[in-house]
Structures are given as C-alpha cells and as structure tokens.
Amino acid sequence: MSDQSQGSPLFVQESGDETGVPILFIHGFPLTGQMWEAAVAQMPEEYRCIIPDLRGLGESEAADPHSMAAYADDLAGLLDDIDEKRPVVVVALSMGGYVAFEFYRRHRAKVRALALIDTRANSDSAEARAGRMTMIEKVKASGSKAVADAMIEKLFAANVDPELKQEWYEIMSSQPPEGVVGTLQAMADRADSTPMLASIDCPTLIVCGDQDVITPPDVHQEMHAAIAGSRLEIVAESGHMTPLEQTDEFTNILCEFLETLE
C-alpha cells in the first residue's frame, strides 16, 4: 500500500492497479481506514483501492465544519487530487454509509456503484440524538475512551476473537477527541436518506452481519426492498464489523459484485 496526504486534507492509502476499477472505501465511527486493511489485502491487484481516513479520525486532521456534506466534499476533493476522474465504486460501512448517501446526493456523477455495509438510511431518532449529545459531553470530559467503552460490546458477534476486539477497542480509544466530537455531531445532524432510496439507480450491494445489533438485518432488508435491483447478503456469525469479522466471505461477496459491473 502507498500513503499520500499531500494536496488533500485527508490522509489516504492506496493499493492495486491505478488503471483498474476505482473503489473508494469509507470507514465507520470512530474508526479509520485501517478497518479495510484485511479485506483490501485479499482484493485482486486489478482494482484501484482508495482508503481515506475521514477528517478528524486516524491520520486526517480535524477541520470545521463536521457534517456529512463536508465529509462527502472531502472525498470528492480527494478523488480530484489523486486524479481519479472516473466514477468510483463506493464501499461504505455504518457511518461510512451515511457519508456515502451524502456523496451520492452531492456527487452523483462520481458514483459507479454502491456497497452499503452494516449501515442504515434513516436519520437519528430524538432519543439517539440525545444520546449523541450526552456522549459528546463525556468525550469532552474524559476522552475518546468513553465512546470505545460504550460501543465495544455492541460492535462484534458474540464469538469474535478477543484479540480483534481488544485491538479495535484500543484504536477507538486513541482517536482524537476533537474528531470524535465532530463526527458525533455530524451523525446527529445527518439527513434522512430513506426518501432517496427509491431514486438510487446505480448497481447496489447491501451486506449485513446476522448478529449486527447496531444496524440489524431488518434495516438492510428495508433498504433492499427500497433500492430497485439491489442485492442483499446476510453474513453468518458476524456482528456490525463484517469486513473484519468475516473477511473471506466479505471479500468474496464484494468481488462477485464487482465482477457484475465489468
């Protein structure tokens, strides 16, 4: 993989053939592009894999404003910076999916296909929003560990390797509080993308872990029903982190979908 952070506010890693079908991987909260590493390592070299850290997370600096629109525009700017003018396949997990919907809304011409992984289209309920505001105060008072403590038991399926869980607990705990606060606010403020689902007219793959308690299978079944021609895959023995928990199966599903595009 090669790293690049000049010219764009986002830190990005790339792998594969620059001339191959471009795939933009968007990570979840409060994670980093590193969450795609295992899956991307299994991708055939023929694809151009583009793996940024969203602003304020991983190695990308925080910058105001924090909003789904800003994140989507960052990604469009990144594609320009790396001279990727072709429409990309957007592969997005959870919060990455919220960004993907905004990217589709604002930069439709840049989207060749969507792969929506362990995510949802609706916006926060009043209760979920209030929970985000409480969490913002906790992170301001005691750092990002507050988010890691609240999320870690919900992220993975029951039988996950404890080392994988510990590794991601540490990664989440070490995210810069400013970026974590910003992304919490951006998620709380995000638009409801449910009305847009019926108008999505690019090839769409939807993937969900059968034990995902954050964005459960029924949420994905609803998206599948609303997006014409979409394909739904429910992955066994996986929680909310399917690309990390069932990497082989996830990569197979993604590659099969990519082959249908060619």
Binding site for ligand MLT (CB under 6 A): 28-29, 94-95, 187, 214, 240
Phi/psi of residue 147, nearest 5 degrees: -70, -45
Which residue do the tokens 């991987």 mark? 25
Q: 75 with 26: CB under 8 angstroms? A: yes
| Minimum distance, C-beta of residue 200 to ligand MLT, in the bound complex (Å) | 20
Q: 104 with 127: CB under 8 angstroms? A: no
| Minimum distance, C-beta of residue 163 to ligand MLT, in the bound complex (Å) | 20
Peptide bond into 44 cis (omega under 30): no
CA-to-CA distance for 47 and 29, rounded, in angstroms?
A: 25
| Minimum distance, C-beta of residue 94 to ligand MLT, in the bound complex (Å) | 3
Return the number of the residue (155 or 227) whose C-beta is nearest ligand MLT.
155
Reading the block at residue 165, the tokens are 């869980």
Return the number of the residue (28 or 179) whose C-beta is nearest ligand MLT.
28
Return the number of the residue (21 or 31) whose C-beta is nearest ligand MLT.
31
Residues in the chain: 262
| Minimum distance, C-beta of residue 132 to ligand MLT, in the bound complex (Å) | 8
Return the number of the residue (94 or 144) whose C-beta is nearest ligand MLT.
94
Q: 9 with 1: CB under 8 angstroms? A: no
